[in-house]
Structure 1
Amino acid sequence: MPTVVQLPAGKAMTVRTAADAFLDSLGNPNTVRNYGIGVGKTAERLGEGRPLAAVADDDVGGALELLWGEASVNTWNARRAAVLSWLGWCAERGYDGPQVPAWAKRMPPPESETPARSKMAIDRLIARREVHLREKTLWRMLYETCARSEEILEVNIEELDLAGRRAPVKAKGAQPRTRRRGAVREDFVLETVYWDAGTARLLPRLIKGRTRGPVFTTHRRPGPGKVLSARDVCPDTGLARLSYGQARALLDEHTALAGPGTGWDLHEYRHSGLTHLGENGASLPMLMAKSRHKKPENVRRYFKPSPEALSDLTSLLAPGDARR
C-alpha cells in the first residue's frame, strides 16, 4: 500500500511542514535518512516557520552554498538532488514555492575540478568596459584576498581598514546547530583578509559618499514585502546587500559562452589566486595562512599550476649553461 500523507488544507504551507510532508511520503528508510540531511538542514537555513511561497529561488541556492559549497562534489550533488526532489514534489502537488536556481548547478565528476583561470584572463575580464564598477571591485577583491565569496559579500563599509588593506570576515566555522526546534545558533569566528593595489584603487570609488552598510549592494531598493535586517541595508541609500545568488548570476552573465549556467564560478577566484601565489613561490604554510585552511591537504587541491608554470619549473633542471 502506498504511503498516505495528510497535507494541510489550502495551498499554503510553511517550510518545515513541506519538508516533513515530503519526507513522510518516502517509503524507503535509507532514502528518508539520506534525503533528511539535505532537506532538513536546508529547511533550517531557510527558516522553518516561513511560508514556502515566500522563499525565493536564490534563497534556496544560497542555503545550499552556505551549507555545502565547500563540501566534496559528491556531497554537493547529493544534497542538491534531495532539495530538488523535495521542491519538485511540492510543485507537483500544487504548492507555491521556490525552485533550485539554475546557477546552483550540479557539479561535474570529481576528476573535473574547479579550474584556475589565468591572471591575464582575470585582468581582461575586470578591464572590460561593460562590467560595472561593483562587479570589477568584487571580482578583484575575491582574487586578491583568496577569500570565500560569502565572506566578502558580508563585509560592511565600517569594517574596512582601507589604509591597512584588510578587513575582518566571518570565517567558515561550525555549521548552524539546532538548540531546540526552530531555534538556530550561528557559529563563526572572525578572521582577517588582505587585498592589494587593485582592490585598493577600486574600493574608494565604489563606496564614495557612503560610510556605513554593505560594501556590495543591489542597484534597486528591496520590494515592500522583503524583510531584511538593518545590517543588510545601506542606511544612506536604502539599497540591500548583494546576495550570493545575484553575484554568481552576474559573473555567469559576463562569462557564459554556451548559455546560462556555463560561465565562471565565483569560487574560481579563490582557486586562481592561490594557484598564482603558489606559482610565484609562496610556500605551503603561507598559502595555508592566506586561505585560512587548517589542513595542508585542503589547500593543496586549490593549487593547480599551469602548463607554463610547470615548464618554467622544469627549466631549473637544465644544465647550467642551458639556463644562461
Structure 2
Amino acid sequence: MAKVLPLTGGPALADAATTFLNRRDLDADTLRSYRQTLTCLRTELGDGALLTDLTAEQTTAVFTAAWGNAAARTWNRHRSALRSFTTWATARWSMTDLTALVERRRENSDGTKVIDRHLIEALWQRRDLPLRDKTLFRLLYESAARSVEVLGLDVGDLLLEAKRGRVRRKGGTTDWILWQSGTARLLPRLLAGRTRGPVFLTDRRPGPARTPAGADLCPVTGRARLSYERAEYLFKQATKTIDPTGAGYTLHQLRHSRLTHLGEDGWSSSTLMTLSGHRNLRTLGIYVQSSAEAVAAALAEHDPGRRRH
C-alpha cells in the first residue's frame, strides 16, 4: 500500500499515537494490543501522515489488508483499539471518525474449546518440548492465571518453596498465583540460578534496534522477556498435532480448561475465583461449565443399559 503524504495542519500520526500510548491508565495487556494496531497504521499510512487528514476509507483499507482474513475476534480487537484512539483524538482535534467504515464482525461462540484432560497430560509427557515452553504451559495450566500475568513474572516475584508468585491482576490489583508440584519441579531448572530479570526469556538477545525496556531485559543473559505473541505462537505449534482442527490451541484455552476441569472435580466457585483472580461470579461462570466429555462420562456411568461387573 502506498504511503500517505501529509497535506495540511494537525499532529502527525506518529506523535499522536505515541502520546496516546504513554497514558498511565493503560494496563500492560491493553497497551500491547493498542500498540499492535497503531504500529500497523503507522507502517501503512506513514509516521508523517497528518492525523486530521486521515479518512475512514484509508483505515478501512489498512484493516482489510492486515486483518481481512483474520478471526472475527482478532478483527474486533483491532477495531476496538482504533475506536479508543479515535475517541481520544477527537476530543483534542477536529478529525474524521476513523472507524466509521470498519464494521464489527460477529463472533461465534465456541463450545468445544476445553482441552481434554488426556491431551493436557500427553503434552506434559512430551520430551521434545523445550524446558522454557513446558514450564510456561504447565504454570499457565496449574495456576489458571492469565497469560499476561505469568509472562510478566520476574524471578524476584517467585516464592519457590511456597509454590506461588506475585502478579499484577487485571485492573492493577497485586495478588498471588499458585501452582503445583509439576511446575515446582521445572522452575528451578529453568532459572538455573538466576536471581533477577524476567522468568520467561526469548531464545536470543534482541538486536540494537529492538532493545526493550530495562525491566524486560535479563541482566544475566542479555535476553528479553518472552512476548505474548511469541508464547501464543509456540503453544499453537506445540498443540497442532493434538487439536482436532489442526490449528493448535490458544493460551487462553489452558486457563479455560483448567477452571473447567477443577469445576468438574467439585471445586467451589469461591475457591476457583481465588485461584484465577476473577472478581465476579458472572464472569467466572463461562469457564466452569462441564465439558462434553464430562457429561458423556456421567451419562455412560448412569446408563441403565451399561454392563456392570
- The TM-score normalised by the length of structure 2 is 0.66
CA contact (8 A) 1:14 1:48 kept: no
Correspondence list, 1:104-115, <5 A: 109-113=107-111, 115=113
- In the TM superposition, what whole-angstrom CA distance separates every residue of 1:188-221 from its partner, at most 9, and x where no partner exists? 1111110001100110110012111111001100
2:114 to 94, 110, 116: 116
For residue 172 of structure 1, what is the amino acid of its counterpart?
K
Pick from 241, 256, 274 the counterpart of residue 289 of structure 1.
274
Partners of 1:15 and 1:51 within 8 A in 2: no
C-alpha contact (below 8 Å) 2:165/2:177 kept by paired residues: yes
State which of 167, 170, 184 in structure 1 corresponds to 2:168: 170
CA contact (8 A) 1:316 1:323 kept: no
Structure-1 separation of matches of 2:105 and 2:122: 26
Aligned positions, number: 242
Q: Give SS of 1:277's match.
A: helix
- 2:227 counterpart residue number: 243
- C-alpha displacement of 1:128: 1.6
Q: Distance in 2 between matches of 1:191 and 1:172?
A: 10
Question: Please, which runs of 5 or more residues in structure 1 have no aligned partner?
Answer: 20-39, 55-72, 86-105, 174-187
Cα distance per residue 1:153-193 (max 9 Å; x no partner):
000111100010001111000xxxxxxxxxxxxxx111111
Counterparts of 2:33 and 2:142, CA distance in 1 = 34
2:197 to 213, 217, 233: 213
> What amino acid is aligned across from residue 274 of structure 1 in structure 2?
L
Is the aligned partner of 1:143 residue 2:128?
no
Q: Which residue of 1 aligns with 2:90?
A: none
236 and 51 in structure 1: CA distance in 2 versus 1, 3 angstrom threshold: farther
Over the aligned positions, Cα root-mean-square deviation in angstroms equals 4.0
Q: Secondary structure at the match of 1:192?
A: strand
CA contact (8 A) 2:37 2:81 kept: no
- Bigger shift: residues 226-235 or 132-141: 226-235
Q: Which amino acid aligns with 2:155?
A: I
Retained in 2: the 8 A contact 1:221–1:240?
A: yes
Give how far 1:303 is off.
1.7
Deviation at 1:151, TM superposition (A): 0.3
> Tell me, what secondary structure is at the counterpart of 2:77?
helix
Question: Counterparts of 2:166 and 2:269 in 1: how far apart (Å)?
Answer: 23
Give 1:241 shift: 0.3
Equivalence for 2:174: 190
What percentage of aligned pairs have identical amino acids?
38
User: Which residue is equivalent to 2:128?
Assistant: 130
Corresponding residue for residue 272 of structure 1: 257
* Alpha-carbon distance in structure 2 between the residues aligned to 1:253 and 1:310: 29
C-alpha change, 1:108 and 1:221, in structure 2 (3 Å) is farther
SS at match of 1:225: helix
**How far apart are 1:17 and its partner, in Å?**
5.1
Q: Answer whether contact 1:172 1:189 (CA < 8 A) is retained.
A: yes
Shift of 1:120: 1.4
Alpha-carbon deviations, 1:252-309, whole Å to 9, x = none?
2222359x99211000110011011111110112112212212212111012423342
Decide whether the 8 Å contact of 1:114 with 1:271 is kept in 2: no
Report how far residue 227 of structure 1 moved.
Answer: 3.2
Tell whether the 8 Å contact from 2:37 to 2:78 is kept in structure 1 after alignment. Answer: no
Instruction: Provide the secondary structure at the position in 1 that maps to 2:247.
Output: coil
Unaligned runs of 5+ in 2: 19-29, 45-70, 84-103
Counterpart code for 1:305: S
Show CA shifts across 1:12-46 (max 9, x none): x6535579xxxxxxxxxxxxxxxxxxxx9889656
Checking the alignment, whether the CA contact within 8 Å between 1:15 and 1:47 is kept in structure 2 is no
Q: Is residue 159 from structure 1 mapped to residue 143 from structure 2 by the alignment? A: no
What secondary structure sits across from 1:172 in the alignment?
Answer: coil
Q: What is the identity, as a one-letter code, of the residue corresponding to 2:14?
A: V
Residue in 1 that maps onto 2:290:
305
Corresponding residue for residue 47 of structure 2: none
User: Residue type of the partner of 1:192?
Assistant: W
